Chains A and B, each alone.
Chain A
Amino acid sequence: MKIMDCPLNGPRNISEFACRGEVKAMPDPDTASDRDWADYLFMQSNPAGVVHEWWIHLPSSYWFIAERDTVTGEIIKTYPPDELFKRPNRQLGAS
């Protein structure tokens, strides 16, 4: 069984984690076309290479981001989401 290095809990068995798919930015819901919105919902880039994914450590309900190589299976790096989401988003959909 693979080991994943949780930024909060350290190295743990991969069975303690779940993946929620790739990290992708939500288009502006007010201006995006229906097609853009459908792409955002249903299309995954699924590359043969490095992906950035949401993962959760289930026992502690801690979300973080993992960089993973889909070709080699190597987990390159894991880090807390605030490295990517630095500021509170209070403006969503208010435009």
Chain B
Amino acid sequence: MTGSRLPAPAGSRLDRTRPLRFTFEGERYRGFTGDTIASALLANGVRVLSRSFKYRRPRGLYAAGSHEACALVQLPDEPNVPADRRPLADGMTVTGQNYTGSLARDRGAWIAKLGQFMPVGFYYRAFYRPRGIWHVWERVIRKRAGLGRVEPTTPHGYHDKAYAFADVAVIGAGPAGMAAAVAAAEAGAEVTLIDENPEIGGALTYGRFDTDGRQADEALKRLAKAVREHPTITVMTGAVCTSIYEDNWLAIDGGRRLTKLRARDVVVASGLQDGLMVFANNDLPGILAATTVQRMIWHHGVLPGQTAVVATQDDWGYTAALDLAEAGATVLALLDTRAKPGNSALAKLAKDRGIELLAGWMPQAAEGEGELERVIAAPIEGALRAADEPRSFDCDLLCVSARPAPAAALLAHTGVKLAFDPASGAHVPAALPPGIHAAGAVNGLAPLDRVIADGERSGAAAVGPAKGGRAKASRKPARKSAKASAAAPQPILDPAEGKAFVDLDEDLTTGDIRDAVALGYQDVQLLKRFSTLGMGTSQGRHANPPGVAVAAEARGDEIGAIGLTTARPPLAPVAFGTLAGRQFAPLRRTAMHRAHVEAGAQMMVAGAWLRPAYYGAPDEAETRIREEAVAVRRSLGLIDVSTLGKLELRGRDAGVFLERLYTFAYQGLAVGKSRYALMADETGAIVDDGVVCRLGDEHFYVTATTGGVDEVYRTMLWWNAQWRLDVDIANVTAGFAAVNLAGPASRDTLARLCDDVALGAGDFPYLGVRQGHVAGVPARILRTGFVGELGYEIHAPAGFGFDLWRALMEAGESFGIRPFGVEAQRLLRLEKGHIIIGQDTDGLTHPYEAAMDWAVSKKKPFFVGGRAIDIMRARGLTRKLVGYKIEDGEAPLPKECHLVIRDGEIAGRVTSSAVSPTLGYPIGLAYVPPDLAAEGSRFQIRADAARMVEASVVALPFYDPGNARQEV
């Protein structure tokens, strides 16, 4: 076939003035704007799109829509592209999938000959004996399994997320969906109408609902106009609703954009999905679902074959046969599995067109080398067997109208049970949860006028008086009674030769299902897991009806007794990029950030904050860090500690409250004084630390760790939600900038900028707290000792942070002030033996293990971790945090988490380790067994490359044990 197209009105999606060029398997082709990859290929006579999953059989388009895996193709940077949905773009390079060599001559197709060695469930049965053989097989299988090829160098494309709201979301813009949207909008609702196709209209855009198709044309015109003109209806086309999550939270995949839509009510009008007719070689390219044939004709102007046979289980196949005949194809025969045609007017029209009607017939086999060349048809005898009087038809198209099933997977996501309805021969939704409505064909309804009426009913029900709307409720139309049209059972043939597939994704045949049932996998859930029925791309949407029918027959049971497997999101495959979106992460900068950047700081992430790690080039990091530490010890340094957590507690009970939260005592703390604060949780584990400052009788200012403050704040609020003490707690972390001016010259430097606070050693001693002004900025000044030198922590309103920093840097210039970063601070605090919560403690460390007995008050009646700490203390310690030094100058420096080893067993671990810039030798903190915790004890650390390093326990702090330098 050439690239010729049918004239308008066929090809409604095409813009024939805009041709597109593309290649498939290296061959050049042309299509039009409005084509999908599949329609353009079919227009060029290309039918084989891929090879099948297991047997590598050639496969082509069967069902249009986001269903079976046969029409998945490969783009250079994207695998598993659904060719029947992806719009064709100019210059596209498309290849098939799942083959070795070329698509036409797959070098891997020999595997099909081994079919008898790959019985159902073969990977559970074949590869596990002898022991260890799986590892050999795994390499072979991994290479062959899967579908498309992922190109690892593909850049992350642009994807984003949107958040939307609607009173009523309607899924599916076919006749029922459009009617529902209009009814809901007219009752006053904001409506979003969602459809995966590029246009609204659904089956009305290609289907023929009466003899001449006029009914569909009129309904489409009327409903589409009403949808377009209604101001409160938002239409989303080209968008797949992949699931309905709790409280009507819809995930809508628009390709580049994932919309998360919250709807008060949801109307599911997802219509029907194509079924599969089961006979030998029912997977040959050239066998197309009737709706696919009609979409190709009416959407894309493509006639999928010149000589056709139509096989049908219902009236729909007659309309497809008429479409084919009117588009110029020769229809050799219409095989109707029913003994009598349902609609005599359609039958007469078909006869008038010269189409031979064979009632009670179906295809027995399809034949052809790689593509369909012949259909062997036979009359059905008995329930499911074809009699042996076949006729052969030479043709290039077999148009199949198997009984469609309600597309109810989205409803199943909401917990709706699907019950087998003998009348329609399909599983239809049973009771719906509140806020979920189903409309139209998904309810098992036909014909068109009933479908539209059901759409109007459910649209109104979604905005009924109970929802504050104006719509009047009307009764749900009943499905046709079983007596009127008991659907004939689906005819399924077990061929003597060739494979009859029930699952095209997973290459499962009728024989596979029967074998699985015979092996005892009778329960539908077990059957699925053992055989992989329904576990492919379409998640069983085309495979479950025939699969369940075969299983029912094999069990000798009713279809309704078999049940269905659980449908889970997503409805259709979703690209990882769509889920990932744009990858935003919040980042906090301190008020002094610009000053750090200008000073050449290397920034590191601490919690959500950016902090200077050190100042200077990365290749000089070690030197710079050491210089910064030395500057603090010798003269003066300044560090930005704005990221510290800061809490303000006021009220009559603030002191009592703090004593309950922290391990220390605070009621007796004098105004103008500060005290270390260690917080343990109810299990006695250390969770945070900081400093409590008393600014007034009923006013405390409390610092917390950078990463811990949010949890500390929440924990405080949680306890006081129960205690209801008279205390107001505010997290003022972002409100204050803070610096630590540290070093012997800090007092003289501060004196240059502060004239309303007496700074003398007697006036403002160690652990004192004052309020005054620094460089004209209102400030809270804390004499702290974290780095072990004379120093002042200055907290000022964040808006003044930058000016404060600049003023201090200028004032300290003559003393050689250096800004220092987190790395230098870590060294300095280690020399002083101060722990860092989360580095030197873990989720179990209690204060006695961390050698912080001094921070635990023994006099208080209660504190949060108190009881648990008492219990653990009474049981005796199992480990203790100690300071150690390493005397061997040649030994490698241990790293954090290197293990302490005793007699070949793990006895502890290192938590902090560094070469002390002040002392000149390696020091660290480590957990060791209590009997190794005494000063002078020696223990072994296993460093890199398993080298054992000897360490000896020393008293803490390492530096200035008398605190003479910080308490001046």
Contacts and interface: CB of A to CB of B under 8 A. Distances in A.
B725 interface: yes
Interface residues of A, number: 26
B871 A34 contact: yes
Interface in B842-877: 860-862, 866-868, 871
Interface string A45-88: 00000000010100001010000000001000000011001011
Interface stretch (B132-140, B241-249, B394-402, B821-829): B241-249
Nearest to A4: B247
A83 to B, nearest CB: 11
Contacts of B713: 61
Interface string B236-265: 000000000111010000000000101000
A88 B725 contact: yes
B162 interface: no
Contacts of B714: 56, 61, 63
Chain B CB within 10 A, most for which of A1, A20, A81? A1
A82 B245 CA distance: 33
A20 B862 CA distance: 22
A81 B871 CA distance: 30
Interface stretch (B468-476, B636-644, B715-723): B715-723
Contact of B656 (A3, A32, A54, A90): A90
Which interface class (under 10, 10 to 19, 20 to 34, 35 or more) fits B?
20 to 34
A88 B718 contact: no
B246 A92 contact: no
B717 to A, nearest CB: 6
A93 B725 contact: no
A89 B861 contact: no
B726 interface: yes
Interface in B691-730: 713-714, 717-718, 721-726
B246 A29 contact: no
Contact of A2 (B247, B723, B731, B867): B247
Given A1-B247, A29-B862, A94-B861, A82 B724 contact: yes
A20 B860 CA distance: 27
A13 B731 CA distance: 24
Interface in A1-16: 1-3
Contact of A93 (B247, B260, B722, B862): B862
B499 interface: no
A41 interface: yes
A88 B717 contact: no
Chain A CB within 10 A, most for which of B262, B682, B713, B722? B722
B565 interface: no
Contacts of A92: 660, 723, 861-862
A32 B262 CA distance: 49
A3 B628 CA distance: 51
Contacts of B725: 88-90
B469 to A, nearest CB: 19
Nearest to A20: B718
A41 B722 contact: no
Given A82-B724, A90-B725, A92-B660, A3 B247 contact: yes
A34 to B, nearest CB: 5
A63 to B, nearest CB: 4
Interface in B717-758: 717-718, 721-726, 731
Contacts of A94: 861-862
B522 interface: no
A32 B871 CA distance: 12
B868 A93 contact: no
B718 A56 contact: yes
B867 A37 contact: yes
A56 to B, nearest CB: 6
B683 interface: yes
A61 B723 contact: no
Given A29-B867, A34-B871, A37-B867, A89 B724 contact: yes
Chain A CB within 10 A, most for which of B714, B717, B867, B871? B867
Contacts of A56: 714, 717-718
Contacts of B868: 37, 41
Contact of B731 (A1, A61, A63): A61
B871 A63 contact: no
Given A1-B246, A41-B868, A89-B723, 17 more contacts: A2-B246, A2-B247, A3-B262, A29-B862, A32-B867, A41-B682, A56-B717, A61-B714, A73-B246, A87-B724, A88-B724, A90-B653, A90-B656, A92-B660, A92-B723, A93-B861, A93-B866
21 contacts: A1-B245, A2-B247, A2-B249, A29-B862, A29-B867, A32-B867, A37-B867, A56-B718, A63-B718, A81-B721, A81-B722, A82-B724, A88-B653, A88-B725, A89-B722, A90-B656, A92-B723, A92-B861, A93-B860, A93-B866, A94-B862
Which 3 pairs of residues, A with B, have the shortest CB-CB distance? Answer: A93-B862, A93-B861, A81-B721
